[in-house]
Structure 1
Amino acid sequence: MKKSLLALAVIGAFTGSAFAADNVQLYGIIDLGVAHFSGLKPTTGSGTVSSTVMDSGGQSSSRIGIKGTEDLGGGLKAIFQAETGFCAAGTNQNTNGSGGNSNGYCSGGGFMQRTSMVGLTGGFGTVVAGRLNTPLWNAELAADPFGGGLTGKFDNISNIAFAGLQRANQTIAYVSPNFAGFTGTAVYSLAPTSAQVNLAQGGNTTRAWELNAAYNNGPVFATLDYIRLTNIDGLTPNSSSGNADKHWQVTGGYDFGIAKVTALYQDLKADAVSGKRTAWMLGATVPVGAGAVLASYGQAKNTLGADTGADTAKQYAIGYTYSLSKRTNLYTSYAHISNDANTALAVGDSSTSNLGVAGQSSSGVIFGLRHKF
């Protein structure tokens, strides 16, 4: 009885302080899937290996977060969000010799490091600061039928994954009001990733700025995005005060009702090396009963530093999701990557990114269950 009263007192104290905002929401995802990958790089020796694992997020990385708003009056609101990944299947089960997620939280890079931000929103738009998804990454997720998850995720071969631009640290972002479906976003990052923070280099610390224009109205959406990282030497941060990497991306889609068709194109160039890396994808989402069939085909070609003519990876993927309720669904998918002699990409899923072997193909299949709360 005393323990119960103590628990109620703790909960009451927590509710009276942390939940004093006007609207606070505890939310999360628990996602567990059994996946089989083949064509992976072994820890030692040559050839390829296969792996069968239970992943902490085949469709969406398991996570828990808290977000909320406070009305400041005059149409102005304070907003906040803090979200962390966690390993739903056990301690760091995604670490393996073929290149899994090696941090202790299975996604995000650390505690409350999926997203961590505070900001203000009102008639002028929204200003936020913290660790955020890049608009580039959000646009790819919206165009990818697999939403950055399942074994079919375009992130297996995309430029964003290649350059590690899914999230950015020390970021300030402004999002304009919505004008008949049009929005604009401007972003500046003082140190986009933890690997790029080097105080000893002072002004040579890598910086990034990004501009995004988007249209989303009815069945149509389209985005155009440009991001520039400074103080880069051949895609290696903190090596030069003059060089830059430049990424741009265009996405679009139309929902015909019987099917939603999407596409994207990405281009990456680096001042320090010749050539470029391009990637593109065509995708479709077809509603079937209580679920949907997902399909995509994409290619990535990397000629940064050299052009040998054997530097392309091709991926095709198909999947199906079935809704048991508004918050719970079953899923399955299959993906296959064909690598040229100078590419070594491999199939992964939402919480696992594997390493491949140059010139060898890679495949992955997964079955799982996802619940949102």
Structure 2
Amino acid sequence: MNKNLLAIAITAALALPTMAAAEVKIIGQAQLELVNTTSDAAGVADGITLDDSAEGKKISSGNASALGVTGSHDLGNGMTGLYKINYNFHADDADGETVGTSTGHALSARDRFVGLKGDFGTVLIGRVNSPYKTATVKWDPFLATFMQARGQNGMSGGKGGVGHNSYADEVIAYANKFGSMKFVGAIALDETLDANGDINGDHVVTFSLNMPVADSLELALGYFDSTGAGDGTAIKAGLKWTSGDLTVAGHYENLGKDLNASGTGEQSNIFVTASKKLGAGASVSASFGSQTDESDADGGIDGTYTAIGYKKALSKKVSWHAGIVIVDEGVVGSADDITRIGGGIRVKF
């Protein structure tokens, strides 16, 4: 096990007796997937790998494995102090893998924050998931597996804190429920320096709204604005419908060119998914997505994403999944398809 990871686990364990009254909890999960990849895309190797998730050409990207500590302190008068320190790790090997097949680091930061919760709502300060991300990211039934939508043309990946597999740094966030509507808003402070050595102050503003609009129908809205630093506005709207054992959901998003990975044109994504519970902890799901890059420099990229999979919960902590994902990167004038078939096991701590 990575030495840093081991040190975190040992420190947390030793601290538990003295911190029990503060409701300390070790959190995390480990996931491994056995996947066969076939592709005609440059930089993608064909064959069988043992990894943790994937995003397009990058194996072990957007992965599930994590380890952290969370807790709270009862401050009285209905107020609670909160904290969370969470790290990402790769369960397949300690060193990750090289860029082009992976994003790899043995240990890297996820969300880390302190905060207060009370009748006024919840205030968090630190590194958090952006409200834009959390509004719909969990609608993906294949989230944090090799079949996931984010980064594979179904949902936007991450750049500049926007997208569905990134975190926002230096954040002050606020969350509350107003009736049946949930609001989450955040400001990410820009601490970069200008030519004079002063702070630029091009702060990012982002928020989300989730609310029921009819029986079994939920509306989600997301907004991200970093226009102080360029063309950095993103919007998202989605609907989720549930009836008995069937759930159907989808969203549309549009990202300004400075939030697009190419940086030369607007990007839009469409994501649709359907899941059916089969009983005894089993479910089957199918998802489709498309991504359009309006960049003039590359002639336009219109990629697609298709995934079909099965999931079985063996307990509240252990599950396995299997399926297939087909990603067409859509580069004009070249074949760039990626197909992965496989399965994996996820164990929560």
Bucket of the pairwise TM-score, normalised by the shorter protein: 0.7 to 0.9
What's the TM-score, normalizing by structure 2? 0.82
Q: How much identity, in percent, do the aligned residues show?
A: 22
The alignment partner of 2:136 has SS state of: helix
SS of the residue aligned with 1:153? coil
Contact conserved, 1:71 with 1:77, CA < 8 A, in 2? Answer: yes
Name the residue aligned to 2:242. 255
Which structure carries more relative contact order (alpha carbon 8 Å, separation 6+)? 1
Note the C-alpha offset of 1:306: 4.9
Taking a change above 3 Å as real, the CA distance of residues 38 and 162 of structure 1, as seen in their structure-2 partners, is farther
Q: Which amino acid aligns with 1:73?
A: G
Q: Which of residues 88, 92, 103 in structure 2 aligns to 1:89? A: 92
Aligned mate of 2:343, from 338, 358, 367? 367
| Mapping for residues 11-50 of structure 1, pairs under 5 Å | 14-21=15-22, 23-39=23-39, 41-42=41-42, 49-50=45-46
CA gap of 1:324–1:247, structure 2 versus 1, over 3 A, is same
2:225 maps to a residue whose letter is: R
CA distance in 2, matches of 1:304, 1:286: 37
Count of aligned pairs between the two proteins: 322
Task: Specify whether residues 37 and 198 from structure 1 end up closer, same or farther in structure 2 by C-alpha distance, changes over 3 A only.
Answer: farther
Q: Tell me: CA distance 1:41–1:339, structure 2 relative to 1, closer, same or farther (3 Å).
A: closer
Q: 1:318 to 1:271 in 2, by over 3 A?
A: closer
Q: 1:139 aligns with which of 135, 140, 145?
A: 135
**RMSD between aligned residues:** 2.9
Equivalent in 221, 226, 232 of residue 245 of structure 1? 232
1:202-259 CA-to-partner distances (Å, cap 9, x unmatched) read 3436531112111159733221111011453xxxxxxxxxx23100011220111131
Higher-Rg structure is 1
Find the counterpart in structure 2 of residue 325 from structure 1: 315
Residue 106 (structure 2) pairs with residue 118 (structure 1): no
Whole-angstrom CA distance in 2 between matches of 1:215 and 1:11 = 37
Q: Deviations over 1:124-165 (max 9, x none)?
A: 100001111111111232222223433243432256315352
CA drift of 1:340 comes to 2.7
Aligned to 2:178: 179
The amino acid of 1:61's aligned partner reads A
SS class of match (1:204): coil
Q: CA deviation at 1:13?
A: 6.4
Runs of 5+ unmatched residues, structure 1? 1-9, 233-242, 344-357
In structure 2, C-alpha distance between the alignment counterparts of 1:258 and 1:158, rounded to whole Å: 23
CA contact (8 A) 2:149 2:289 kept: no
- Map Cα deviations across residues 61-96 of structure 1 (whole Å, 9 max, x no partner): 111111111111111110111111222222134x13
| Pick aligned residue for 1:292 from 280, 283, 307 | 283
Q: Could you say which residue in structure 2 is the equivalent of 1:236?
A: none
CA–CA distance in structure 2, aligned partners of residues 117 and 40 of structure 1? 42
Describe the SS at the equivalent of 1:14: helix
1:101 aligns with 2:103: yes
Whole-angstrom distance in 2 between the partners of 1:89 and 1:366: 15
* The structure with more strand, counted as a fraction of residues: 2
Q: Which residue among 206, 213, 217 is the counterpart of 2:209?
A: 213
Q: Show CA shifts across 1:314-357 (max 9, x none).
A: 111101111111211111121112233349xxxxxxxxxxxxxx
Deviation at 1:26, TM superposition (A): 1.3
